[in-house]
Every structure is written in C-alpha cells, then in structure tokens.
Structure 1
C-alpha cells in the first residue's frame, strides 16, 4: 500500500510541466504494457479484452498530448484526476501481466478475480474519458488528428493510426467521430492493408456496426461507407456477418438517408453473393424493405441496387416464393412499362431471373401482362435505345419461346413483323440479336415458319448467307433450311432464280465438313421437290461439284438421289460422263 501511495503521488505533480511529463510517462507506460500483454499465454480472452481498453486509453492520451492546448487541459482537475487514476490502474495491470507471463501467480481463481477488477476499472476510465468529450472538455479543436502514415509506412504505424481513429470514434464528440470515420474511409478505400490492420484490432467492426444505428445522419453514412468497403473482400464478409451487420443495414434501408440507403444496398448486394447470408437478410425483414424501395418513387439508383439484392436473394427457393407472394411479379411488370429506360431494363432482367427454369412463374408473368409490356419495347413505333430493345428481345426469347400460349400471344400481336423490321433495318447489335431470335422462332412451330415466310424473311436470310461472320452465316442457313420445309415458302423462294444460283455458288466455296455446308445442301434438297428447281440445278454448271461432294458426304448423296428421277437421269448421266 505504501508503494502504491508513493506511485500515486509521483503521478500527480503540482506543476503544469510535471503534469505534462506525467502525461508523456503515462503514454509510454501504456505502450509498454500493451506490448507485454501480447506475451501473456494464460487467460488469453481476458487479456484480449484488457488490451482493447488499454489501446483506447493510449490513443486518448496521445490525442491530449497532440492537442494545441495540452497544458490548459492538464490544468483541468477532471482531466488530471482521470490521468492519475489511469496511471495507477496501468501499474496494477503491468504487475498482473508480468505475473501471468512468469506464471508466478498464487492461484487461477484469485488471478481471474484480479483481472475482472482491472477490466472493470479500465471500462470506467474509458467511460470517463468519453464523458469528458461529451461534456466538451475535450473537443475536436483541442485534439489534433494523428497524421496519416505515408505510403511506405510500416504495419506498426498503420496500427497506431487506426487505433487512434478507433479511440476517437469511441470517446469523441459527434464532430470527432465523424472526422475519424472520414479518415478511416480514406485509408481503407485506398489500401487493402489498412483493412487487414483494422480487422486485427478488437472492437473496430463492432463500433462500425453500432454506428449504423446512429441517429446522427453523418455518422451513419460514414460508417456505412467503411462497412461497404469491407464487404467488398470475400475473406472479410464473415467478420461483418458475425458482428451482426445485416440487421442494422436493413434498418438503414427502412429509415436512413437516401445516401445511406444507397451505400447499404451496395453492401447487402455484396454480402448476399453468398446465399448463406440471404437467410439473414430475409430474417431481418430485408425482403419487405427491398420491395418497398422498388415500389416507391425512389431514385433510379436505389431501385437498381435493391433489385440487385433481390436477384441474389431469389437464388434461395423459399425466399423466391416469399418474394412472389409479396407481389413482386405485378410490381416489376408495372416498372417494365415505365418511361425511364434504366428502370425498365432493371425490371425486365429481374423478371427473367425470377422465372429462370420455373414454368409456373413464367405463366404468372404472362397472365399479368408481361408479354404485352415486352412487345411494346420492341415495337418500332416506340422510341427506345438499342440497348433497351436488346434486353427486351432476350427476355421474350427466354420467357416465351418454350410456352405455346405465350407464342400464340406473340404471333397475334405482330411479333414476326417486329423482328422482320429489325432484321432489315436495325442497328448492327439489334440486327444480329433479331436474327438469333428469328432463328429460334423458326424452330418453334409450323405456324411460325409460315408467318415468317409471309413476312419476307427468306430474302433477308439469303443476304446473311454471304456474311463475314461464320456464326451469322450458319444461323441464316439453318433458319432458311427450316423455312423451305413449308411448301408455300419453297414455291416463293424458288421463284427467284438468283436464290438458287447463290446457294450453289456458296456451296462450292464452302470447305471441309462445315455445318453451313450441311444446311445449304438441306435447303437445295428441300427445293428439289419443285421440278423447276431441279432443272435450274442440273443446268447450273455446279453438278460436277455436287457429284464430287456426293462421293464423301451423305447430305450430298441425298441431293443427288432427289435429282436422279427418271425425267432427269439421262441428263445427269450426260453431265457426269462429259
């Protein structure tokens, strides 16, 4: 006891210079003690908690030392008294730490009790320091922020800087907390090393998560920004989840500022890339909050991010059913009719996602008027960007082509003519996509083939047969081979002599056993049902090429057999032996 009194007297000198030295000495003692605690191998969790408090106090004393008004602060009885108490507890803690390192304590239960007492004292000191900031005794003006470390700074400097910011977040006034968060965001967004260092310090994530529920808008927004940075690293997402970040993020969506909501949505979108986290979002009422944003007059960016989170969530079947039950289908079909093209595309892509491999959902979209909303976008009479039309065309292909009822609606609302327009007049990207859709449309039904023939598709497909792109050439050839299976289409196609000549010319150019060659032969074989076409082929000068192909290829042999009827056999014999 006598030694303790002597120590206490030494830490409370009368002169202001002495008090300043005491402050510097306290910082050094705390730094030494923090280092010592890392050597303790017993009561590890208890010492970890003690170390967190020591680091907070260490940063708090440094803030006072760096203050413009350090001496005036030390004249304040509240501050000098708190410093004396901190120093006394620090020396007691140092003694306990040394005994734990040396394993020289008398008993585990007694040491456990002593550590609990120290932890209680440290908690009280941290609370008292926080009260001084709250009361305005220590303010932002009186506590200069530690300089940001240089790019080449060592890990210890980074830890020191982050620890200082953490203390300010814990014990500072509103301005100091906000500035600390701003500074923290600046370093973590620039360098991942700061994120790693930050997460190594106990308590940082918990402070950030608690700030998400702050009634101070700026505090809430700045903390959300830091959390969003952390959520961008796969290896750190679990830390946020364990800290209970989902619930506060949902509350930001429900009652936060517009900026806070946007950042929270970005964070949730990253976190829900892992379907395991989807359940947590749903359990905290996240689905309802997200649908409310999508159904409100929020700005486009908010709806877009909310939709992105929902698309992640519906990967879980049970959550998808709940989303549907909450009215998502009619809501997004309504958005698909809006004037804003970004919202329109977002809604169409969401409908495709929720209907993926789900026939019941596709039928629901059809019943709610989804097809008509999509047809409006691809109607040439309406003004939409190429990108928007592409999104709508893909959606029609994905949602409608596997449903006979959907195809009937499409055919009855002029879809074939719309596709024909874009195949003939569309910009390159839309034109190629329209050709792909036409290719698939051709394979859906006989009625579709007939309608495409009447709409004038065959001459347009012939133009693509000579295209530079092999994929486009093959698609056009395959679609054309399907269309000429219809007698009416064959007759119409054969009326133009140029069509037959071009097919024979392209067949001669094709090399190897390509798919394009196969489709060209298929088209010619179908056309031989017309006597006039047979005559044109036989008299074309390309028969020797066909004969050569027939020696190795089944499709060419089939064509030769079709040409070898009684009427043309003698003619062919003369050609083959000339």
Structure 2
C-alpha cells in the first residue's frame, strides 16, 4: 500500500516537473488566470498548468481546474486552438468515462463540446485523440444533460466529412437513431443534425435504413421543435435524392403529407428550402404529381414562394411547378406569380445555376392558359423586361436568349393581335429580327404565322413596310 501511494505521488511530481510550473513560480503551484489581452505565451503556460492540476488533484481540484478551462473557452472562441495545442486532450476525453464523478464528467463534456464547436483544429484534435467513441457512449447511457452535450459535440465532429465514417465504426448509428426517436428536444435536434451529416455516405445510409431512420425523421417533422424539423427535412431530402427505395419508404410513411403540413406551418427560410427540395425529389413519382397537382392550397403556396421567397426557394418552387399537370383553372389561380418568374429570368448573376431555365419553363407552362397570356401582356413591367432580355445590344445581360424567345413564343401562340402588338410596341420586333439574323433558335416560329390575317404591324394589313408575318 505504501509503495502504491508513493508511486502515485511520484507520478504527480513528475507531471509537475514536466509542466514547468515549479521552475516558473516557486512560491505558488496554483497560478492566477491571465486576464484579457494577455500574451499568448502566458496563456499557454496557464493552460499547461491547468491540465497538470486536472490530472494530479482530487475531485474538488479537478472541478476547479475544469472551471478555469470552461472560463477560458467561454471568454474567447479562438482560445480553443491554444487549448487543443497546449492541453492534454486525451486526458480530458478520459474524464468522460463512467468511473469519474458525475460532476466532473459533466464539466468535461461541456469543455469537449465547446472545443469541437469552436474551430476546425480543436475539433480535429478531439477526434484524433479518440473523442467520438466516449461521446457516443455518453449519448447512449449518460444523463439527459450529458446526452445533450454529447449530441452537440457529435454533430460538430460529423460536420467534417472525413470524420463521419467513424460513427459507424464505433457502432453509433443505432444510438443516433434512438436519440432522434426518444431523446430530449435538444438531443433530438443535434442527433438529427448528426444523422444529416453522416447520411451523405453510401454505406451509412444503408445502416440508417436498416435502423428505421425514415419513420423517425417523418415523426420529427410533426413532433420536433423548429430546429429539429429543419434538420429532419434536410436529411429527408438527402435520403430521397439517394435512390428510389428511400423515396418509396418516405411516401409509405406519410412523409409527403408531413412535408406539406410543415410547408404550411413554418416560416423559417432554411426549413422551407429543405421541405421544397424534398417535395421536388418526391415529385419524380407519378402518384406524388397527382397529389400535388390536385391541391389548390399547395399551388397557392408555390405561387407565394415564387413571389416572396429567397432566390433559392423561388428556383425550387419554379422547378416543382414545371413537373405538375395543372388545368387551365389552376394555372389562372396562380397567374399572379408570372411577373416574378419574368424577373427571375433577368437575375443579373444567373445564380443559382439553372434559375433562368426553371423560371422560363414554369412561365411557359402557365402561359398555355389563354387568359394568362392576356394577363401578362397587360403587365407593362414584365413585357419591358422580356423585350430588354431580347435586345442583342444588351451586353450587360447574362440571360441566354433562348429563354425570353421561348416565353415570347408561348405568349403569341394562339393569342390575339393585341398581344402581338403589345410586344411590338415595346420594341420587341426589331430585336426579334436581329436575333433571327443571328440564327437564334425559335425565332422563325414567332416571325412567321400561317394565319395571314395577323401581321406584325400597328394593326396594318399590309407588309409593304417590310414587316414579316407572325
């Protein structure tokens, strides 16, 4: 017993000697915490001393050392890099084990959570020192408080794709799924975020499916808090994009209706974006298209999203609209978004990619209704924008000419002479002629019309002025 006690003391003295504390301040083992603006060297020395005290003291000594560590991490996020560099991460992770006092484990869990959430380098250090395994054990068997801190840390670690694979290696997939199913609201939120992170890996998606992740995520859409709903909808989009089996499973579990309900209830732009992405992927199914096409409330939501949503939400909504099979009545009911679709085509940055194409296709779909063609020519701003996009001299425009040409073609197809004259009076005819000389596809079908009754002129029935038939 004496020998064991002596060995423990020798171990602690060895740590003190290696830390340099005795050489720096012979009169005090416990150093004062450096104040704000202290030199990096001074703070680094204090961190090394702190971790020394963490290892050699009893419970109260460890708790005081952890208090100091948490104070450093809370005061300045940048300090996490120095803590990871100067501190003993392996020992800090060791404090998460069951054989340590509960209060020490809780403080250590908070410290690890702060470290992995603060910087890439500190997150990498915790992972490389084996932090993921103990965190998953905490998530499975710890108290509610420990589970919440562990879930936060695991989500942060798995945000790095290079770390995500290890969740499966540690047997963490069932733990994450169960936390999403029955954890506290905070633990569910971050577990769903971790599931979203790891679902990008093919092999892990298979394990997630086997553990029944789809019904759990669908349930979170209705029962989770707003943050959990956002992450669950994002994860469903990733899974639905991965293959037909996931799409079938989501539909069978009532995922489409849950997504539609969330679309109606949520005002969070990120949540709406993920919900719409999921609906767009699910609309590859003919049964989904029938459901969406028959829902006036959903069509009105799409219309509102196109008019008032972020640019990404506008594009996704336009893409969904292109997939639907609507009656003329339904197209008339959402005609108010046509002006927004024209404006989307003029997006100066042409970002996101495909925005102009999706908005043009959605607009052309709506213009198959005769009343919509008449309505859009009454919208002077939309006509002026279309004509501006047609202008070959408009070098500042990044719009591909085929999109406004196809929209104009849809407007004049079967329209009255007044519709044609509206575009002409706005200056569209000269632009179309120049584009015809440039061999832009689709121009000839606009400038020529088998019905000789309609000519491109100010109500004139003659082509003597050189005007061409529509």
Fold shared, TM-score > 0.5 on shorter chain: yes
Aligned length: 435
CA contact (8 A) 1:265 1:306 kept: yes
Please list, as runs of the form range in 1=range in 2, the aligned pairs for 1:481-496 lying within 5 A after superposition. Answer: 481-484=364-367, 486=368, 489=369, 491-494=370-373
57-66 or 522-531, larger mean C-alpha shift: 57-66
CA positional deviation for 1:402: 2.7
Please list, as runs of the form range in 1=range in 2, the aligned pairs for 1:63-212 lying within 5 A after superposition. Answer: 145-149=30-34, 151-153=37-39, 155=41, 160-187=45-72, 190=76, 191-192=79-80, 194-195=82-83, 198-199=86-87, 204-212=88-96
Q: Deviations over 1:494-517 (max 9, x none)?
A: 555944977765454443376475
Q: Deviations over 1:86-126 (max 9, x none)?
A: xxxxxxxxxxxxxxxxxxxxxxxxxxxxxxxxxxxxxxxxx
| 2:130 counterpart SS class | coil
Q: Does 1:461 align with 2:338?
A: yes
| 1:323 counterpart SS class | helix
| 2:438 counterpart SS class | coil
User: Take 1:154 and 1:392, find their aligned partners in 2: how far apart are those partners?
Assistant: 43
RMSD: 4.1
Structure 1 residues 217 and 572 mapped into 2: Cα distance closer, same or farther (>3 Å)? farther
Q: Does 1:247 align with 2:127?
A: no
Q: Deviations over 1:419-473 (max 9, x none)?
A: 355258x7x336x66643442134325x24x467544334530465368855688
User: Take 1:501 and 1:309, find their aligned partners in 2: how far apart are those partners?
Assistant: 50
Structure 1 residues 349 and 501 mapped into 2: Cα distance closer, same or farther (>3 Å)? closer
Structure 1 residues 56 and 524 mapped into 2: Cα distance closer, same or farther (>3 Å)? closer
User: Take 1:242 and 1:433, find their aligned partners in 2: how far apart are those partners?
Assistant: 37
Q: Does 1:441 align with 2:327?
A: no
CA contact (8 A) 1:272 1:312 kept: yes
Structure 1 residues 265 and 559 mapped into 2: Cα distance closer, same or farther (>3 Å)? same
1:331 is matched with 216
Q: Does 1:480 align with 2:363?
A: yes
1:56 is matched with 16
Structure 1 residues 516 and 474 mapped into 2: Cα distance closer, same or farther (>3 Å)? farther
CA contact (8 A) 1:500 1:537 kept: no
Structure 1 residues 217 and 422 mapped into 2: Cα distance closer, same or farther (>3 Å)? same
Structure 1 residues 268 and 292 mapped into 2: Cα distance closer, same or farther (>3 Å)? same
Structure 1 residues 414 and 338 mapped into 2: Cα distance closer, same or farther (>3 Å)? farther
CA contact (8 A) 2:237 2:278 kept: no
Q: Does 1:373 align with 2:258?
A: yes
Given the two structures, how large is their TM-score scaled by the length of structure 1? 0.63
Structure 1 residues 521 and 57 mapped into 2: Cα distance closer, same or farther (>3 Å)? closer
User: Take 1:537 and 1:439, find their aligned partners in 2: how far apart are those partners?
Assistant: 28
> Between Structure 1 and Structure 2, whose CA radius of gyration is higher?
1
Specify which of 392, 396, 404 is matched with residue 286 of structure 2: 404
Given the two structures, how large is their TM-score scaled by the length of structure 2? 0.76
CA positional deviation for 1:527: 4.6
CA positional deviation for 1:398: 3.8
User: Take 1:339 and 1:306, find their aligned partners in 2: how far apart are those partners?
Assistant: 12
Uncovered stretches (5+) of structure 1, i.e. residues with no partner: 1-49, 68-143
User: Take 1:403 and 1:508, find their aligned partners in 2: how far apart are those partners?
Assistant: 37
Q: Does 1:525 align with 2:413?
A: no
| 2:463 counterpart SS class | helix
CA positional deviation for 1:539: 11
User: Take 1:230 and 1:279, find their aligned partners in 2: how far apart are those partners?
Assistant: 20
User: Take 1:409 and 1:321, find their aligned partners in 2: how far apart are those partners?
Assistant: 29
